[in-house]
């Protein structure tokens, strides 16, 4: 196998150029984020002393710390731990993923369950770190991007968007041809995903000679979404700036002037161009206001944050060398001239596309604990379509598969420990020869007590010479389902329903989609007296009553926005809620459109810790 050479000075300048471009684009786009009309910016709309803080860069600084903590073999599990410790953002998918992890769930299940924002831009914006630690290895960069994205986007377009960008940015360390780079990115995402379709359509419109504004309108017509953070449309806008831009500044301006998630589109394009051009070819007009400084949002905390892009670059480069050594990547770092083009043996060194077929409804564990290479036991825990939730007195099936990847037999038993008052499997015999697998369907039945989450434990017990040798314990968590009484337009009586998450599925529970008045009622349990923001996230007219008192009344059709921090103002109430049980009722009017309702208890803006608008996991719907 041939070896590609990467000059260390060149490696440094490309990393530094990427971070500079990221800062420039984020500072340009941040002040107009969320505006969905065609814009006409010609320069930064807002300047402060240095760059504006942006989650696009914030989260990658956290990931750098994760790499320094856990090393090059880190996975989504370690990234999830870092998130809980250091990231206190409530935004969209961030808030849902964090709420799930706080209840014991781990990625990818934590990034998929009860998450209406899996298709959004929160992960595509943090692809650069993986490209920078795997220069010229788009497959490895895409692998890391997957591990990152499933923390809060599992099962959605956010995963493919991050894999796409990471592959492009990694290849850009050797390859400079724009069209070739875009095609490299497309090889790492499924052809049928929405992101790939939007990208291919944009390329076709560009080839046909459409103007950039015509291409923008076509993107919105065929691939648009009412949520401004939806990934496919914004990924297309990022590439639109690249395709139609005459130079660096014109490219990032065109991306921003498409509107929508403007800080993300400009920051990602700025990073791509910064990697290709290097810092010395970035225009002084754009560089000078931003400089070498780093600005980080307050909810990112608890670890040493680099003070300058120079420090960030040096630490990134150091990890890149570790990644190359651990993965045995055919690349040499030194003072010789870099290879002139992306070599096939480097570009095709690793193929991560097997990850596309991995179920987001299941978690995968390698045993013995701490193993990174799959050469022992592989344990797969599948929670099914309803996810890892269970209601009071409810039975749930969990599919468990054990695969022996080792070279010798495993004999012993599989044990399941359930909470007190529950029923469930206690022990199954285990006899696995090398490369053999066995599956079980474990049924558990919960007790009468409702909690936020329930710890279970799977034990793989190994026997040697007919006697106990050791045991590997894997904690498994289920979370509390929500209990409701529902009535449709034609119902004269309440019907009992259990929902796996915070979404009330009227159509599924009542088996009707007729127009009219729908009602939902529950007992809300609040363990402590507190200020609470109660959100009725629906596009439909809605009323909410707490203990018979009207607290929400919105007669308008609005956007559907189940976010903790940017809910429709008329569809929320901020109240002082005493401890104890409360009767909560909703009336929702369904028209021709489908009926969506998420009921979300979150904190108010001003909190001591950990941050604003975080989800109250201990508020239960019983």
Annotated binding site: 261, 263
Alpha-carbon distance of 226 to 220, in angstroms, equals 9
Residues forming a β-bridge with 490: none
HEC profile of 6-52: EEHHHHHHHHHHHHHHHHHHHHHHHHHCCCCCCCCCCCCCCCECECC
Residue numbers belonging to the annotated binding site for Mg(2+)? 261, 263
Answer yes or no: are the C-beta atoms of 123 and 162 closer than 8 Å: yes
Please spell the DSSP secondary structure of 535-603, one letter per residue.
EEE-SS-EEEEETTEEEEEE-S-------SSS--GGGEEEEEE-SEEEEEEEEEEE-SSPP--EEEEE-
Alpha-carbon distance of 374 to 532, in angstroms, equals 45
**Three-state DSSP state, 180:** helix
Alpha-carbon distance of 539 to 556, in angstroms, equals 8
Alpha-carbon distance of 411 to 126, in angstroms, equals 43
Task: Centre a 10 Å sphere on the Cβ of residue 345 and count the other Cβ atoms it contains.
Answer: 14
Q: Which helix (H) or strand (E) holds 206?
A: helix 194-207
**Three-state DSSP state, 159:** helix
Task: Measure Cα distances from 183 to 148, 190, 222, 235 in Å.
Answer: 22, 13, 21, 14
Please spell the DSSP secondary structure of 459-516, one letter per residue.
EEEEEETTEEEEEEEEEEEEEE-EEEEEE-TT-SS-EEEEESSSB--HHHHHT---SE
Answer yes or no: are the C-beta atoms of 264 and 27 closer than 8 Å: no
- What are the backbone angles phi and psi of residue 443, rounded to the nearest 5°? -105, 130
Answer yes or no: are the C-beta atoms of 601 and 550 closer than 8 Å: no
Task: Calculate the dihedral angle through the C-alpha atoms of 353, 373, 314, 351, rounding to the nearest 10 degrees.
Answer: -20
Task: Measure Cα distances from 160 to 9, 138, 146, 187, 197 in Å.
Answer: 32, 13, 8, 11, 12
HEC profile of 96-144: HHHHHHHCCCCCCHHHHCCCCCCCECCCHHHCHHHHHHCCCCHHHHHHH
Task: Measure Cα distances from 425 to 402, 462, 475 in Å.
Answer: 16, 18, 15
């Amino acid at each position: 196998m041939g070896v590609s050479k990467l000059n260390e000075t060149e490696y440094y300048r490309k990393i530094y150029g990427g971070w500079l471009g990221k800062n420039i684009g984020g500072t340009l786009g941040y002040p107009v984020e969320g505006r969905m009309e065609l814009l006409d910016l010609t320069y930064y709309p807002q300047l402060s002393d240095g760059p504006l803080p942006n989650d696009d860069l914030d989260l990658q600084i956290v990931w750098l710390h994760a790499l320094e903590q856990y090393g090059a073999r880190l996975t989504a599990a370690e990234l999830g731990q870092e998130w809980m410790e250091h990231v206190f953002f409530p935004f969209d998918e961030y808030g849902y993923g964090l709420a799930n992890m706080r209840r014991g769930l781990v990625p990818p299940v934590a990034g998929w369950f009860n998450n209406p924002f899996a298709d959004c831009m929160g992960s595509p914006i943090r692809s650069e770190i993986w490209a920078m630690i795997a220069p010229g290895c788009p497959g490895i960069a895409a692998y890391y991007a997957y591990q990152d994205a499933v923390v809060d986007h599992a099962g959605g377009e956010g995963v493919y968007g991050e894999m796409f960008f990471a592959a492009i940015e990694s290849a850009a360390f050797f390859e400079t041809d724009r069209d070739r780079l875009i095609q490299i990115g497309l090889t790492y995402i499924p052809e049928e995903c929405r992101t790939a379709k939007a990208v291919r359509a944009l390329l076709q419109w560009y080839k046909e000679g459409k103007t950039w504004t015509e291409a923008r309108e076509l993107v919105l017509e065929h691939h648009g979404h009412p949520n401004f953070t939806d990934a496919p449309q914004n990924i297309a806008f990022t590439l639109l700036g690249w395709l139609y831009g005459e130079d660096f500044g014109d490219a990032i301006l065109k991306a921003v002037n498409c509107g929508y998630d403007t800080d993300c589109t400009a920051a990602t394009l700025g990073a791509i161009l910064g990697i290709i051009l290097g810092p010395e070819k970035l225009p002084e007009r754009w560089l000078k206001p931003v400089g070498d400084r780093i600005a980080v949002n307050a909810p990112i905390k608890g670890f040493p944050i680099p003070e300058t892009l120079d420090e960030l670059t040096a630490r990134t480069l150091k990890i890149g060398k570790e990644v190359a050594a651990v993965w045995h990547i055919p690349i040499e770092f030194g003072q010789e001239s870099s290879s002139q083009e992306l070599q096939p043996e480097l570009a095709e060194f690793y193929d991560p596309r097997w990850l596309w077929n991995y179920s987001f409804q299941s978690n995968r564990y390698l045993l013995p604990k701490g193993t990174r290479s799959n050469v022992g036991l592989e344990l797969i825990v599948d929670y099914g379509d309803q996810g890892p939730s269970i209601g009071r007195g409810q039975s749930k099936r969990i599919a468990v598969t054990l695969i022996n990847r080792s070279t010798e037999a495993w004999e012993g038993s599989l044990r399941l420990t359930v909470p007190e008052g529950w029923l469930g499997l206690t022990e199954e015999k285990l006899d696995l020869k090398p490369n053999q697998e066995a599956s079980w369907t474990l049924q558990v039945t919960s007790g009468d007590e409702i909690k936020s989450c329930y710890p279970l434990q799977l034990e793989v017990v190994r026997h040697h010479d007919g006697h106990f040798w050791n045991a590997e314990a894997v904690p498994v968590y289920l979370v509390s389902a929500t209990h409701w009484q529902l009535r449709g337009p034609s119902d004269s009586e309440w019907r009992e329903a259990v929902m796996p998450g915070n979404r009330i599925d009227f159509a599924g529970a009542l088996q009707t989609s007729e127009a009219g008045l729908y009602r939902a009622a529950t007992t809300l349990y609040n363990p402590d007296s507190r200020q609470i923001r109660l959100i009725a996230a629906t596009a439909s007219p809605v009323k909410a009553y707490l203990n018979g008192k009207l607290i929400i009344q919105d007669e308008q059709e609005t956007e559907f926005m189940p976010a903790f921090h940017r809910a429709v103002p008329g569809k929320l109430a901020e109240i002082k809620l005493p401890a104890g049980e409360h009767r909560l009722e909703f009336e929702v009017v369904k028209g021709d459109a489908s009926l969506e309702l998420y009921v979300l208890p979150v904190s108010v803006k001003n909190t001591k810790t950990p941050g604003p608008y975080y989800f109250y996991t201990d508020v239960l719907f019983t």
